[in-house]
A = this chain, B = another copy of it.
């Protein structure tokens, strides 16, 4: 089965100023296509950190998606770092220039904006229907914008090029119980269904303990079976059950 990693590039995520939302979006979209998101790394706007992370991830996973750092300002260094990772030149890409020209008037296409047309040699462009400045693909690495609306639009354009497996499905139920009272019975359910990934996620609201049980896998009937057994366990424990 194909798997994937995400490399998020940006000081603003690590400083806590900006809350990342691209990981959750891509995690769901990849699962729907049958691709497991296996690892995420978030690194600073630092060329050496980007190169090291990219080299590790592209060797380990089917696909790598990067987010962030491909804009026109001085802190946008992703394209240069990707070129360095692959040992290729950063070149002005004529098709990328043409796309920027379609958006910006002659006087507006300044040096900063032309920087967005500097693409590693040999890369294929990824469409950006929102602001035209393209992403790109080089080998198994897809380089995308960090702005969530643009990342999503870019991913829409490339998703059909990715391997497709049986979609990863999930079913969940929330129980009004403490996790430690549920654990033993839940282990038995997991042991009976080794091909299902049974997860247990506690939360505490207004002094009340809740546990969400999530079953993930590719066989819908199996997941329903796990949910039925979880509901039976809840009944045994006298726990309230709510959906989702």
Contacts and interface: CB of A to CB of B under 8 A. Distances in A.
A158 interface: no
A62 interface: no
A200 interface: yes
A195 B19 CA distance: 25
Contact of A19 (B24, B108, B111, B149): B24
Nearest to A32: B16
A93 interface: no
A18 B20 CA distance: 12
A239 interface: no
Nearest to A76: B200
B12 A199 contact: yes
Interface residues of A, number: 70
Interface in A160-212: 168, 170, 172, 179-184, 186-187, 190, 197-204
Interface of A: 8, 11-21, 23-29, 31, 36-45, 49, 71-75, 104, 108, 110-113, 115-116, 130-131, 147, 149, 168, 170, 172, 179-184, 186-187, 190, 197-204, 214, 216
27 contacts: A8-B40, A11-B199, A12-B199, A14-B39, A15-B27, A15-B28, A15-B170, A15-B216, A16-B26, A39-B42, A39-B43, A39-B44, A39-B49, A41-B41, A71-B179, A74-B183, A75-B190, A75-B198, A75-B199, A104-B180, A110-B180, A110-B181, A110-B183, A112-B183, A116-B180, A130-B204, A147-B202
Given A39-B49, A71-B202, 5 more contacts: A14-B23, A16-B37, A40-B42, A74-B187, A147-B204
